[in-house]
Amino acid sequence: MELIWKAAALGVAAALLGLLLQKAEPAHTLLLGLAAAGAVLTLTLGLFRELRDVFGDLCREAGIGAALTLPVLKSLGITVVGRGSAALCRDAGQSAAASALETCTAAAALYTALPLVKLTVSLLSFGS
């Protein structure tokens, strides 16, 4: 719970500072947004590590191997990076680049999940 308060405070402070800087120094506003995003993601790294560990423990207890869980975690990482990068592109006024980045993110996440799709298809065809 403490993490969300810190992240929210960073985000609101960056937004307010960005509003103050927007007319005088638009380039600094983008840099401020980038710095705030980096700071929030740095705060979040510990949470991602804990989630990975708990997820790994649960999968080991259930007898699910890394071949099934790794694509899910990779897709999550791709999505986080892609969404954040697209938001920064939009903040910089580059909506076409942001849309292209979102398309790339979706394709990369789907590509990463292909082993799960293949396994599902093989299980369905095996069951027939």
pLDDT in tens, 37-86: 889 888 888 888 888 888 888 888 888 777 778 888 889 889 989 998 99
Going from N- to C-terminal start, the domains of the chain cover 1-45, 65-128
- pLDDT digit string (tens) for 75-91? 988 998 999 899 988 98
CA dihedral 97, 19, 30, 33 (to 10 degrees): -100
Which residue, among 99, 98, 81, 80, has the nearest Cα to 89 in the 3D structure? 98
- Alpha carbon of 5 to those of 10, 50, 82, 118: distances in Å? 9, 18, 24, 41
pTM of the shown model:
0.70
